[in-house]
Amino acid sequence: MPAITAGPLPKEVMSHMKIVNSTRTRTRTLAVAAVVGAAALVLSGCSVDNADAPSGGSTGGSDSKTIGVSMSFVNQFYSAAQEGMEDEAEEQGYKLTVLNAQGNSSTQVNQVQNLVSQGVGSIIFIQLDASSGGASLDQASAAGIPVIGVDQVPVSDDYVTYIGSDSVEMAKQTCDYLNELLGGKGQIAIVEGIPASSTQMQRTEGCGDVLTANPGLDVVSTTSADWDQNKAVSVFTNVLTANPGLQGVFAQNDDMALGVASAIQTAGAPQIPVVSIDGFPAAYTAIEDGTMTSTMSQQPYNMGRLAVKNAIQAMNGDAADIPKTQIQDSVLVTKDNLDEARAAKYYGSQG
């Protein structure tokens, strides 16, 4: 089965799936906050230290034991990443201050400003879009606070490290699989994420390479649902009406794929292949039920743990020792390897 690794990324089919080392399977309540503007801080269940003095430089050296976390919005991926952050911070004796922008760029900028004002020692940053990314990193840089980017590549280069998956390669493998399912020809629709976000652009690029190499795939619809399941339901209902001969769908994330699947079921349309990226536990269920066909499963729980390890390292003045880019493995999940994917616990306690 295909896997993505750091360095030169292999395209060959692996004989078995890499199992993520995630031994914690307990259930816990994730402290994902719905915060508007620069509203109240949400403190996760980690140890608390009163040292909140501002950091002395973007390469670290802070006495603070508080790590700020700027989340873009809530979904299963980011909830699992936060769980990993919480577990690692608790084990290391650090406190997390978690803020969630709920999909609003201005809110994210304000919240990063809030974190800077609080004097956190480092910031784990999940960028919503280019608008929020540039302004947010400028604030952190001006305050000398090191930034760890997760999932979305920060628009500014002023960050210590980026932790994520190779979205170009994941999209290639996903669209290659769709091409295989359709025998190299057929009408397909593409549902994209937030325009101009790094992940949207990379996944568009990756699938585009497959489309160029396989002209028998006819893209009859390209729409955006902003990574949102409810928007995808609405958008794809219209796509189905306009394209009764549709034969397959590539949704750029699982939330939107689940929305597509819901729209197909509600319309009473014939079941068609729906392929996606992320590896949500809900997507596993949809694959089992036959309403989705595949997902590229990422490792958000482990990404969260690694982000906290790197944040602490940067706070201690060792940012120079951290690689600028850290690409994590991902795996194509279908009905054939669904049980193995679930056992890997890529999403922590969510499954």
Given the candidates 3.40.50.670, 3.40.50.2300, 3.40.50.10680, 3.40.50.300, the CATH classification of the domain at 42-164+300-328 is: 3.40.50.2300
SS3 at position 134: helix
Which alpha helices (DSSP H) does 150-223 contain, by range?
167-181, 198-213
Give the tokens for residue 335: 């009905």
Say how far apart CA 268 and CA 323 lie, in whole Å: 49
Strand order in the sheet with 95-100: 42-43, 95-100, 66-71, 122-125, 147-150, 161-164, 325-327
Closest by CA position to 124, among listed 105, 106, 143, 97: 97
Say how far apart CA 169 and CA 203 lie, in whole Å: 8
Backbone angles phi, psi at 132, to 5 degrees: -75, -30
Say how far apart CA 16 and CA 226 lie, in whole Å: 33
Domain 42-164+300-328 matches domain 167-297 at the CATH topology level: yes
CB atoms within 10 A of CB 92: 16
| Tens-binned pLDDT, residue by residue, of the chain (351 aa) | 334 333 333 333 233 333 233 333 333 333 333 333 333 333 333 333 333 333 333 545 566 899 999 999 999 999 999 999 999 999 999 999 999 999 999 999 999 999 999 999 999 999 998 878 888 999 999 999 999 999 999 988 899 999 999 999 999 999 999 999 999 999 999 999 999 888 999 999 999 999 999 999 999 999 999 999 999 999 999 999 999 999 999 999 999 999 999 999 999 999 999 999 999 999 999 999 999 999 999 999 999 999 999 999 999 999 999 999 999 999 999 999 999 999 999 999 998
CB atoms within 10 A of CB 248: 20
Domain range list for the chain: 42-164+300-328, 167-297
The length of the chain, given as a count of residues: 351
Say how far apart CA 170 and CA 8 lie, in whole Å: 14
Strands (E) in the chain, as ranges, are 42-43, 66-71, 95-100, 122-125, 147-150, 161-164, 186-192, 217-224, 248-251, 274-278, 294-297, 325-327, 331-333
Q: What DSSP line would sit under 290-332, residue for residue?
A: TS--EEEE--HHHHHHHHHHHHHHHHTT-GGGS-SEEEPP-EE
Q: Which CATH architecture has domain 167-297?
A: 3-Layer(aba) Sandwich (3.40)
Say how far apart CA 283 and CA 347 lie, in whole Å: 12
